[in-house]
Amino acid sequence: MLITKIENRTARIGVIGLGYVGLPLVIEFCRAGFQVKGFDVDASKIELLNQGKSYIKHINADRIADCGMRFAPTTDFSLLAEMDCIIICVPTPLNKHREPDMSFIFATAKTIAQYVRKGQLVVLESTTYPGTTDGEMRKIIEQSGLKAGADFHLAFSPEREDPNNKDFSTSTIPKVVGGYTPGCLAAAKALYDAVIERTVPVSSTRTAEAAKLLENIYRAVNIAMVNELKMLFDRMDIDIWEVIEAAKTKPFGFQAFYPGPGLGGHCIPIDPFYLTWKAREYERPTRFIELAGEINTNMPYYVVDRVFKILNEKCKHLKGARVLILGMAYKKDIDDQRESPSLKIIELLTQHGGIVEYNDPHVPCCRGHRHYPNIDMESQTLNEEILQRSDIVLLLTDHSAYDYDFIEKHARIIVDTRNAFERRGIRSPKIYKA
């Protein structure tokens, strides 16, 4: 029985997609004593992993080495037939029309259908709209002739990774689990109970899918609200950061959210649109979510407008101006560039004739982004020379590695989108907030 194999650690685990979600999961299962195969179509990742190297900044190579012989990375998907549990951690991006791109999930399901066997457990972790797991994905896998809930187990358990979070890790973040049938739920819960401190079973895969969307829509809506207030308070000559600090002294009924140059990462900028897209099928408007998306999507335009106006005050045009971007990653102290607002801001600055360079201690190069094919840049050394030759320095990601006093000393003009300088007690007439 599968649950018995999981409990005695003889179940063989296969993780499809070895990125920011899949690789940490592999490490946790190896730590718990399981034999794990990692599947990915990117042969370069497999080569690095087989050499004991990491391609994700916040995942140290030592953690991969600690997996030892328990971890076998591969591009050979025929080995899925040998797995007892298969966990899918593939991307779910948006296409150019901001509609769900389900190609990675559906292609993976078709591959699984070739090798699925009786008694296996298949779990989807990729964020998606409600109905994906028990709808399209189930039907694709059932083309094998096997039936979900009868011949194989099917479940959804949304990833909750927060790269480089110092307080929570893969094993300590509670895990929501929903099964296609009660038996499917029991198998999936047993799997995650083996590596996660607390699992949270729910009544269906659709409930689990919806819970993930709610988590990220909640954040997106609240960030949009504070971004809108930021733009209003700027006009009113009120410091939004001071307002937030004052408001959060209330010990109940308020949670602080912070403005920024736009949303980044694979979840918050994307997930709300999965639900708005699905809602059309039910002829229900999602005006609140769509408005939040509109505000957050507009933030890079607001930042570039601020740069334009600040340069204009200094009798300098954006066209031909040298702009130094500090921070390419979507948040501090990681190397993840997915959906980073820096990408859109660089595109806009370049379109307006700006001469753009960037520095990011975690991102040595920036290229290969599907929506920004023209961006092909390398991080420049952050020294006195580059700061002084730049007409304006635009801080987009407040990495801890930056020497903010050094930057303030040598830069001509600084636009701070994260309130990073003032939080460190650095105030100067050359620093502007955006």
Shared-domain flag, residues 157 and 251 = no
Burial class (CB in 10 A: 0-12, 13-18, 19+), 12: middle
Scan for tokens 């049938």, then name that residue: 181
Shared-domain flag, residues 231 and 174 = no
Shared-domain flag, residues 229 and 192 = no
pLDDT digits (tens, 9 = 90+) for 17-62: 999 999 999 999 999 999 999 999 999 999 999 999 999 988 999 9
d(CA 349, CA 308): 9
Q: What is the CATH number of the domain that holds 31?
A: 3.40.50.720
Q: How far apart are the first and last CA of the chain?
A: 58
Q: What are phi and psi of 142, to 5 degrees?
A: -70, -10
pLDDT of 272: 87
- 256 contact partners, CB below 8 Å, separation of at least 6: 244, 247, 248
Shared-domain flag, residues 160 and 306 = no
Does 329 score more than 80 pLDDT? yes
Task: Tell whether 208 is covered by a domain.
Answer: no
Shared-domain flag, residues 117 and 241 = no
Total domains present in the chain = 2
Boundary-marking domain end, from 142, 170, 201? 201
Task: Tell whether 212 is covered by a domain.
Answer: no
Shared-domain flag, residues 179 and 222 = no
pLDDT digits (tens, 9 = 90+) for 205-223: 999 999 999 999 999 999 9
d(CA 386, CA 91): 36
d(CA 378, CA 369): 14
**365 catalytic residue (yes or no):** no
Shared-domain flag, residues 168 and 287 = no
Task: Tell whether 207 is covered by a domain.
Answer: no
Q: Which of 30, 89, 267, 366 is catalytic?
A: 267
Shared-domain flag, residues 88 and 224 = no
In Å, how far are 6, 140, 152, 268, 328 from 83, measured between CA atoms?
A: 12, 19, 12, 32, 38
Shared-domain flag, residues 352 and 383 = yes
Boundary-marking domain end, from 150, 171, 201? 201
Shared-domain flag, residues 268 and 193 = no
pLDDT digits (tens, 9 = 90+) for 227-268: 999 999 999 999 999 999 999 999 999 999 999 999 887 777
Distance between alpha carbon 389 and the CA centroid of its chain, in Å? 34
3-state SS assignment for residue 60: coil
Domain of residue 165 covers: 2-201
pTM of this structure: 0.91
